[in-house]
A and B are shown apart, each in its own frame.
Chain A
């Protein structure tokens, strides 16, 4: 079935750093109702890495994150995290083994205050950041504790969406377009926060359209197109690929 006309993207075999993966996605397919959106996605994220998923609008980046967590109508293929098979878990399973999620558009609850939004996700087994540490990382959240969650600015909402997952003490977070619609100065603050988290050893898989931001924080990149991964490279290879990236991302 040719869903993309003449330019059917072909999955590529890519060389990746060796070592055990914390998250391993193999031949992942996903459907929304009748429409087949992912056509065999392969990717690996090792412990402590920040990996960025690039691709045009509609390439299937969000769907990849949702399929990893099980938020799609149907999926097929392998998803293992920290040695566990996520495809056999109920929807509340991945969070309980340490996989956090910061969704596209942030998912802040309007009926909950900032503090309630922050405390909502149940803590995992160990640790997690304390509320004081979170307020030190994102001071705005402290001042706005009692406001309704959606009364915050876009940037503050993004900080809240990240903060509430950090409080649960995840091993890894899936971040979907954290800089979408934010002013450059806020984007820099989010990048700084992510670098700080990386220094603490947190593993991150981040979806981004903002390539400048992504270059700043990621160790490795995957590029998606038409529901498959079409390219993969390390941060040091970015310079040599700028032309090809411009073509793939349409930037």
Chain B
């Protein structure tokens, strides 16, 4: 049997793949956080709650209305994005002129309220969400048996990250967004409705979190705290990648997922903290993050 540093190759590849699946969620979520932070200068602590809401909307659509997974992929992000528009217009936008701490505290409070309401309604236990029929089953890759849905998650997240990257780097909307990240006032003086751009950007980030939530529903259970468990890791990913760097957030998400998987092979006890160790080292050595511009 082939081994790498005394570890069977099969086990290694298996963990890399599992790491890639977790990394898919890290990448999608940190991407949304980075987009929001880049333009709004708000650290969106409600991101985990928005991810959870996406999963719950999918669950509700299926349970109450009989609307399945594929429609949920479309509807849930739109519902959560619409909610984000209301939040941004009614509250968040009032805090832009103030210390960024206010935005952070507001979104943190909002997350606690949303998660509290859902715990009160649904309890802490998870609700199962069935894998869509088209993606049931597993494929034997030789080194591991991969559930088809998980493979789909990796491919879907890559496609989503690429689409968002193209949106930001290759479209007019993206050019407004990048320019406004540098100098919001000047972009508005040029005639762009920047307040509306900020609203759309917050909705985009929240919708992206919700989309990740729908993808997560069949993998993890749909539960009120699914977001708060994940979001701490995602914040570490964003810190490592560098706040506000779009490509950096995506790459770092996948890379740290894989690193976490590899750690499970070589030294399992460290796997749950390895990302935070990397974060601490990066903060000491390169505080702006691996891909962030040194301020």
Contacts and interface: CB of A to CB of B under 8 A. Distances in A.
Do A and B associate with each other? yes
Interface of A: 69, 71, 90-92, 94-96, 101, 103, 107, 109-112, 116, 119-122, 124, 168
Given A90-B188, A95-B191, A107-B183, 19 more contacts: A71-B185, A90-B195, A92-B189, A92-B192, A92-B193, A95-B190, A96-B191, A101-B189, A101-B190, A109-B178, A109-B179, A111-B179, A112-B178, A116-B175, A119-B172, A120-B176, A122-B192, A124-B191, A168-B191
A109 B178 CA distance: 8
9 interchain residue pairs of minimum CB distance: A95-B191, A121-B190, A111-B178, A91-B188, A109-B179, A116-B175, A92-B188, A122-B191, A107-B186
B182 interface: yes
A110 B186 CA distance: 13
A94 B190 CA distance: 8
B178 A92 contact: no
Interface of B: 172, 175-176, 178-179, 181-183, 185-195
B185 A92 contact: no
A111 B190 CA distance: 17
A110 B293 CA distance: 12
B191 A111 contact: no
A96 B189 CA distance: 9
Contacts of B179: 109, 111-112, 120
A69 B189 contact: yes
* Candidate in A91, A101, A122 with the most chain B CB atoms within 10 angstroms: A91
Q: Chain A contact residues: over half helix, strand or loop, or mixed? A: loop
A124 B183 CA distance: 21
Contacts of A71: 185, 189
B189 A120 contact: no
Nearest to B196: A92
A96 to B, nearest CB: 5
B187 A94 contact: no
Given A112-B178, A112-B179, A116-B175, A92 B194 contact: yes
Contacts of B175: 112, 116, 119-120
B39 to A, nearest CB: 12
Nearest to A70: B189
A91 B176 CA distance: 16
Nearest to B181: A111
Nearest to B175: A116
Contacts of A111: 178-179, 181-182
A121 B182 contact: no
B220 to A, nearest CB: 36
B287 to A, nearest CB: 21
Contacts of B193: 90, 92
Contacts of B194: 91-92
A172 to B, nearest CB: 14
Contacts of A94: 189
A120 B185 contact: no
B190 A120 contact: yes
Nearest to B193: A92
Contacts of A92: 188-194
B189 to A, nearest CB: 5
A122 B178 contact: no
Nearest to B174: A116
B266 to A, nearest CB: 39
19 contacts: A90-B195, A91-B185, A91-B188, A92-B188, A92-B191, A92-B193, A96-B191, A107-B183, A107-B186, A109-B178, A112-B175, A112-B178, A112-B179, A119-B172, A120-B187, A121-B191, A121-B192, A122-B190, A122-B191
Contacts of B176: 120
A103 B185 CA distance: 11
A118 B195 CA distance: 22
B182 A109 contact: yes
* Candidate in B176, B183, B190, B191 with the most chain A CB atoms within 10 angstroms: B191
A135 B206 CA distance: 41
A94 B192 CA distance: 11
Contacts of A103: 186
Contacts of A116: 175
A91 B189 contact: yes
Nearest to B194: A92
Nearest to A150: B182
A157 B206 CA distance: 37
Contacts of B188: 90-92
A109 B184 CA distance: 11
A91 B189 CA distance: 6
A116 B188 CA distance: 16
A71 B189 CA distance: 8
Contacts of B186: 103, 107
A144 to B, nearest CB: 17
Nearest to B187: A120
B82 to A, nearest CB: 24
B183 to A, nearest CB: 6
Nearest to B185: A71
Contacts of A120: 175-176, 179, 187, 190
